[in-house]
Amino acid sequence: MLGSAVRGISKRIAWLCVRDDSLKAAQICFVTDPRIELDIELIKRMKRLFIRKFGHLFDTKETVFELNGVIPCLS
């Protein structure tokens, strides 16, 4: 389960990706623990923000998330 701080940070990063094109072709890194399940849950939550609000569907696998040309990387 992700804490409220992580949820807030992920929403802020999503906003930074879509507010303008200044980060296009950039990467934003998240440092998480070694469990891939946490990474997948974080990506799912970020994707859900846009599916729920805008109906935008992502055709990438569960470990990949690209938003407005920005790739948030998990490590």
- Range of the structural domain that residue 29 is part of: 4-74
What confidence tens digit (pLDDT) does each residue in 21-51 have? 888 888 887 777 788 888 788 888 888 888 7
> Average model confidence (pLDDT) for the chain?
78
pLDDT of residue 44: 83
Token pair belonging to 53: 């609000």
Q: Strand locations in 1-75, DSSP E?
A: 27-30, 71-74
Q: Which residue has the tokens 């729920």?
A: 52
- Give the confidence band of 75 by pLDDT, cuts at 50, 70, 90: low
Provide the 10 A C-beta neighbour count for residue 42: 20
Number of domains in the chain: 1
Q: Which residue has the tokens 């094109």?
A: 21
pLDDT at 73 over 70: no
For residues 50 and 67, is the Cβ–Cβ distance under 8 A?
Answer: yes
pLDDT at 2 over 60: no
53: which residues sit within 8 A by CB, 6+ positions away?
A: none
